[in-house]
Chain A
Amino acid sequence: MINEGIRATFDQELKELSDQVMAMGITVMEMIKKSMNAFNKSDEKLAQEVIKLDDRVDKYNQDIETKCVQLLATQQPMAKDLRIIASTMRIISDIERMGDYMVDVTKFARRLMGKPKLASAGDVPKMAELVEKMLQETLDAISKKDLELITKVVEDDENVDAALRNMFDTAMLEIEKRPLSAREAIYQLFMARYLERVADHITNVCERVYYMETGELKELHV
């Protein structure tokens, strides 16, 4: 007696909503990649592109939120449908923040352009790679409704936190040893700090995905 077609229009709209969230997340992944390329190659043009991509993320944020409100008003969603829409509204604001942080990361990358690289410069892209992978896996988990993957991503956040702590120590040593490169060390540390914030927002998204699937709202972060 289950009739899949009864809410075909609404189901289609929910699917489009989910596709848009994916596209928004992929845009932030692109920002991470481009930002690190800009940093590695001191490429000003790439840095500009990252900042432009943030406009696209903001646009997704507005469009998706508008769509969510429309669906709430017109479809009176219940149960999982309701959880999907309510969670989506939270998820997009987390992704939007990730975009903002990537702009911050990129701005510091620009300040470092044309300056001699520190020995620890490679730590930043390495951390970015971890963060990008977390985001990629979160998007995969959303599309596959994979709660195990969600748990794994949240655990990975530990590695990002550890990386930040290491980079902090490294920066302190660097500053003590070569006070003249303090500025570069601090800029680099800021980049790491913002990347770590991106990872935190990724774990927020994971918690919403968990809620969407189980109806259980809980802190996955230990």
Chain B
Amino acid sequence: MIIEKPKIKVENLDLYYGSFQALKKVTISIEEKKITSIIGPSGCGKSTLLRVFNRMNDLVEGIRIEGLVEIDGENIYAKDTNMVALRKKVGMVFQRPNPFPLSIYDNVIYGPRVHGERNRKKLDEIVEKSLRAVLLFDELKDKLDRSALSLSLESQQRLCISRLLAVQPDVILLDEPCSALDPMATLKIEELLQVLKNDYTILIVTHNMQQAARASDNTFYMLLGEMIEYGPTEQVFTNPKDKRTEDYITGRFG
């Protein structure tokens, strides 16, 4: 698939955990302000690929990466890459909501505070803006001092997204963000993503095929560390070009 001005560009990416090659010559361009879903069976490398974009994999011992990964035209694996700036720019949301055991307010301002913001008025503004973006502000504005852990799982996941928005990222990575949520909460998070994509480039790893079909603009199918197919979601789910994609999305691949 040809993407004119990609937000993220990956070329011939090989990734090894020791002697195991987890990603093989992956080449993909991610469209700006669109939702791209990465699907594939367990162990296909989709979470590994997601973690390439904020260099979370760097924390794994024995990891080796070859190839090019650019965000906004900048090689994020260059020697002089500012990791703090990169992780600010590329935020991540995980399977299980992971709010800090702090108040709702302190959760949201955690990032800005780490980045040096001290002005109370500014911080208040950030909290309102970030919680509004995830449609939680009206519900929580009088309860900001309550523990974040008292919220429902769905609200906790929203809070985690707002915590990430507070540091003004460009790219949001979501690794199975709804797998701990019930179906209604899942749909609500998906709706939220549709709103967020006006401002952010979103990548989502999901096992839920219906979620990829419903919520994403482009779909990327991976198998054994390789890219098998990448295309507009409606095409991939109605008329996949590769037999292996067909087998996977119709549930005939075990």
Binding site for B on A (CB under 8 A): 1-4, 6-7, 10, 76-83, 215-216
Contact = CB atoms under 8 A, between A and B. Distances in A.
Interface residues of B, number: 16
B contact patch SS: helix
Contacts of B250: 7, 77-81
Contact of B252 (A7, A83, A215, A216): A7
Interface in B227-241: 237-240
Interface in B201-222: 209-210, 213
A215 B213 CA distance: 17
Interface of B: 209-210, 213, 237-240, 245-247, 249-254
A82 B253 contact: no
A14 to B, nearest CB: 10
Given A78-B237, A215-B238, 5 more contacts: A1-B253, A6-B251, A7-B250, A78-B249, A83-B239
Nearest to A214: B239
B237 A82 contact: yes
Given A215-B238, A215-B239, A79 B249 contact: yes
A79 B247 CA distance: 9
A60 to B, nearest CB: 26
B233 to A, nearest CB: 11
B238 A2 contact: no
Closest 8 pairs between A and B when the two form their complex, measured CB to CB: A215-B239, A3-B254, A78-B249, A6-B254, A79-B246, A81-B250, A7-B251, A78-B237
Contact of A3 (B237, B238, B253): B253
A81 B246 CA distance: 9
Nearest to B249: A78
A3 B41 CA distance: 14
A40 to B, nearest CB: 46
Nearest to A7: B251
B210 A4 contact: no
6 contacts: A4-B252, A6-B252, A79-B240, A79-B250, A83-B238, A216-B239
A218 B101 CA distance: 58
Contacts of A77: 250
A82 B252 contact: no
Nearest to B237: A78
